[in-house]
Structure 1
Amino acid sequence: MIKKDIFIGMLVGLIANSVGLLLTATILGQGDDFTTVIKAATNEGFLGKLISLGAVLNLIVFFIFIKKRQDYRARGVLLITIFIAVFTFVFNLF
Protein backbone atom coordinates (compact mmCIF):
# COMPACT_ATOMS: atom_id res chain seq x y z
CA MET A 1 0.00 0.00 0.00
CA ILE A 2 2.79 2.44 0.87
CA LYS A 3 4.78 1.69 -2.29
CA LYS A 4 1.62 2.06 -4.36
CA ASP A 5 0.90 5.50 -2.87
CA ILE A 6 4.49 6.65 -3.44
CA PHE A 7 4.29 5.43 -7.05
CA ILE A 8 0.98 7.25 -7.57
CA GLY A 9 2.54 10.42 -6.15
CA MET A 10 5.52 10.06 -8.47
CA LEU A 11 3.24 9.56 -11.45
CA VAL A 12 1.10 12.57 -10.53
CA GLY A 13 4.26 14.65 -10.00
CA LEU A 14 5.60 13.66 -13.40
CA ILE A 15 2.29 14.50 -15.08
CA ALA A 16 2.09 17.83 -13.21
CA ASN A 17 5.62 18.69 -14.31
CA SER A 18 4.81 17.80 -17.92
CA VAL A 19 1.68 19.96 -17.87
CA GLY A 20 3.66 22.75 -16.24
CA LEU A 21 6.32 22.50 -18.95
CA LEU A 22 3.61 22.62 -21.61
CA LEU A 23 1.99 25.67 -20.01
CA THR A 24 5.32 27.43 -19.55
CA ALA A 25 6.33 26.78 -23.16
CA THR A 26 2.94 28.00 -24.37
CA ILE A 27 2.98 31.16 -22.28
CA LEU A 28 6.61 32.08 -22.90
CA GLY A 29 6.66 30.80 -26.48
CA GLN A 30 4.92 33.88 -27.89
CA GLY A 31 2.43 31.87 -29.94
CA ASP A 32 4.82 29.24 -31.31
CA ASP A 33 3.98 25.57 -31.01
CA PHE A 34 5.47 23.37 -28.31
CA THR A 35 8.13 21.63 -30.41
CA THR A 36 9.42 24.92 -31.82
CA VAL A 37 9.76 26.36 -28.33
CA ILE A 38 11.57 23.24 -27.05
CA LYS A 39 13.97 23.26 -30.01
CA ALA A 40 14.68 26.96 -29.54
CA ALA A 41 15.19 26.45 -25.80
CA THR A 42 17.63 23.63 -26.50
CA ASN A 43 19.57 25.70 -29.03
CA GLU A 44 19.71 28.77 -26.80
CA GLY A 45 20.55 26.83 -23.64
CA PHE A 46 17.56 27.51 -21.41
CA LEU A 47 15.70 24.20 -21.61
CA GLY A 48 16.68 23.44 -18.01
CA LYS A 49 15.08 26.67 -16.88
CA LEU A 50 11.85 25.78 -18.70
CA ILE A 51 11.78 22.37 -17.04
CA SER A 52 12.36 23.99 -13.66
CA LEU A 53 9.51 26.44 -14.22
CA GLY A 54 7.30 23.51 -15.16
CA ALA A 55 7.98 21.96 -11.77
CA VAL A 56 6.06 24.75 -10.03
CA LEU A 57 2.85 22.76 -10.49
CA ASN A 58 4.43 20.05 -8.33
CA LEU A 59 4.27 22.50 -5.44
CA ILE A 60 0.51 22.82 -5.83
CA VAL A 61 0.03 19.06 -6.09
CA PHE A 62 2.29 18.51 -3.08
CA PHE A 63 0.25 20.82 -0.87
CA ILE A 64 -3.02 19.26 -2.05
CA PHE A 65 -1.73 15.85 -0.98
CA ILE A 66 -0.54 17.25 2.36
CA LYS A 67 -3.90 18.90 2.99
CA LYS A 68 -5.70 15.61 2.25
CA ARG A 69 -3.27 13.85 4.62
CA GLN A 70 -1.93 11.63 1.84
CA ASP A 71 1.64 11.83 3.04
CA TYR A 72 3.05 8.99 0.95
CA ARG A 73 1.68 10.46 -2.27
CA ALA A 74 3.19 13.81 -1.27
CA ARG A 75 6.46 11.97 -0.71
CA GLY A 76 6.28 10.61 -4.27
CA VAL A 77 5.77 14.13 -5.65
CA LEU A 78 8.73 15.32 -3.59
CA LEU A 79 10.92 12.50 -4.94
CA ILE A 80 10.06 13.40 -8.53
CA THR A 81 10.74 17.08 -7.82
CA ILE A 82 14.16 16.22 -6.40
CA PHE A 83 14.87 13.98 -9.41
CA ILE A 84 13.93 16.80 -11.79
CA ALA A 85 16.14 19.24 -9.87
CA VAL A 86 19.12 16.88 -10.11
CA PHE A 87 18.36 16.21 -13.79
CA THR A 88 18.30 19.92 -14.64
CA PHE A 89 21.48 20.50 -12.65
CA VAL A 90 23.30 17.76 -14.56
CA PHE A 91 21.72 18.90 -17.85
CA ASN A 92 23.03 22.42 -17.31
CA LEU A 93 26.55 21.13 -16.62
CA PHE A 94 26.85 19.50 -20.04
Structure 2
Amino acid sequence: MNKIDLLYGFIFGIVAALLGTYLFITFYTDFTFASGLQILKSQGNLGKVITLGAIPSLAVFGLLLSLNKEMMARGVVLAVIALAILTIFI
Protein backbone atom coordinates (compact mmCIF):
# COMPACT_ATOMS: atom_id res chain seq x y z
CA MET A 1 0.00 0.00 0.00
CA ASN A 2 2.89 2.38 0.64
CA LYS A 3 4.15 2.19 -2.94
CA ILE A 4 0.67 2.84 -4.28
CA ASP A 5 0.37 5.92 -2.04
CA LEU A 6 3.77 7.10 -3.25
CA LEU A 7 2.62 6.68 -6.86
CA TYR A 8 -0.62 8.57 -6.16
CA GLY A 9 1.36 11.40 -4.59
CA PHE A 10 3.68 11.50 -7.60
CA ILE A 11 0.69 11.71 -9.94
CA PHE A 12 -0.92 14.44 -7.80
CA GLY A 13 2.33 16.42 -7.89
CA ILE A 14 2.68 16.17 -11.67
CA VAL A 15 -0.99 17.07 -12.24
CA ALA A 16 -0.71 20.07 -9.90
CA ALA A 17 2.38 21.26 -11.76
CA LEU A 18 0.70 20.82 -15.14
CA LEU A 19 -2.35 22.71 -13.89
CA GLY A 20 -0.14 25.50 -12.55
CA THR A 21 1.74 25.71 -15.85
CA TYR A 22 -1.53 25.83 -17.77
CA LEU A 23 -2.91 28.58 -15.55
CA PHE A 24 0.30 30.60 -15.78
CA ILE A 25 0.43 30.43 -19.58
CA THR A 26 -3.25 31.22 -20.09
CA PHE A 27 -3.52 34.07 -17.56
CA TYR A 28 -0.11 35.77 -17.74
CA THR A 29 0.70 35.48 -21.45
CA ASP A 30 -1.21 36.33 -24.59
CA PHE A 31 -0.79 32.81 -26.01
CA THR A 32 -2.98 29.77 -25.97
CA PHE A 33 -1.57 26.80 -24.07
CA ALA A 34 -0.25 24.83 -27.06
CA SER A 35 1.25 27.81 -28.88
CA GLY A 36 2.57 29.18 -25.59
CA LEU A 37 4.51 25.97 -24.96
CA GLN A 38 6.07 26.15 -28.41
CA ILE A 39 6.95 29.83 -28.18
CA LEU A 40 8.35 29.58 -24.65
CA LYS A 41 10.44 26.56 -25.65
CA SER A 42 11.86 28.43 -28.64
CA GLN A 43 12.72 31.37 -26.37
CA GLY A 44 14.31 29.08 -23.80
CA ASN A 45 11.88 30.03 -21.04
CA LEU A 46 9.90 26.79 -20.77
CA GLY A 47 11.92 25.48 -17.83
CA LYS A 48 11.22 28.66 -15.88
CA VAL A 49 7.50 28.42 -16.57
CA ILE A 50 7.42 24.77 -15.49
CA THR A 51 9.19 25.77 -12.28
CA LEU A 52 6.58 28.47 -11.62
CA GLY A 53 3.88 25.96 -12.45
CA ALA A 54 5.14 23.66 -9.69
CA ILE A 55 4.03 26.14 -7.01
CA PRO A 56 0.56 24.54 -6.64
CA SER A 57 2.36 21.36 -5.63
CA LEU A 58 3.17 23.14 -2.37
CA ALA A 59 -0.53 23.40 -1.63
CA VAL A 60 -1.03 19.72 -2.44
CA PHE A 61 1.93 18.84 -0.20
CA GLY A 62 0.52 20.86 2.70
CA LEU A 63 -2.95 19.39 2.23
CA LEU A 64 -1.61 15.83 2.25
CA LEU A 65 0.42 16.50 5.38
CA SER A 66 -2.63 17.91 7.16
CA LEU A 67 -4.55 14.76 6.21
CA ASN A 68 -1.73 12.55 7.62
CA LYS A 69 -0.90 11.09 4.20
CA GLU A 70 2.88 11.16 4.59
CA MET A 71 3.64 8.68 1.79
CA MET A 72 1.55 10.65 -0.69
CA ALA A 73 3.34 13.82 0.42
CA ARG A 74 6.64 12.07 -0.29
CA GLY A 75 5.34 11.31 -3.78
CA VAL A 76 4.64 15.01 -4.33
CA VAL A 77 8.20 15.82 -3.26
CA LEU A 78 9.45 13.16 -5.67
CA ALA A 79 7.41 14.77 -8.46
CA VAL A 80 8.92 18.18 -7.72
CA ILE A 81 12.42 16.67 -7.80
CA ALA A 82 11.61 14.99 -11.13
CA LEU A 83 10.37 18.30 -12.53
CA ALA A 84 13.53 20.05 -11.33
CA ILE A 85 15.66 17.48 -13.13
CA LEU A 86 13.46 17.85 -16.23
CA THR A 87 13.93 21.62 -16.28
CA ILE A 88 17.70 21.17 -16.33
CA PHE A 89 17.45 19.37 -19.68
CA ILE A 90 14.86 21.63 -21.33
TM-score range, shorter chain: over 0.9
Gaps spanning 5+ residues in structure 1: where? none
Q: How does 1:8-87 map to 2 (within 5 A)?
A: 8-30=8-30, 32-87=31-86
- Provide the C-alpha distance between the structure 2 equivalents of 1:60 and 1:44, rounded to a whole number of angstroms: 29
Deviation at 1:90?
Answer: 2.6
CA-atom RMSD in angstroms: 0.9
Offset at 1:80?
0.5
Structure 2 unmatched ranges of 5 or more: none
* Alignment TM-score, normalising by the size of structure 1: 0.91
Question: Aligned equivalents of 1:33 and 1:86: distance in 2?
Answer: 26
* SS of 1:69 mapped into structure 2: coil
Query: In 2, Cα distance between the equivalents of 1:33 and 1:8?
Result: 29
CA deviations over 1:53-77 (Å, ceiling 9, x no partner): 1100111100000111100000000
**Segment drifting more, 73-82 vs 37-46:** 37-46
Q: Post-superposition, which runs of at least 4 consecutive aligned residues in structure 1 deviate over 4 A? A: none
The separation in 1 between residues aligned to 2:34 and 2:10, in whole angstroms, is 25
Percent identity, aligned pairs only, is 32
User: Size of the alignment, in residue pairs?
Assistant: 90
Alpha-carbon shift at residue 2 of structure 1 (Å): 0.3
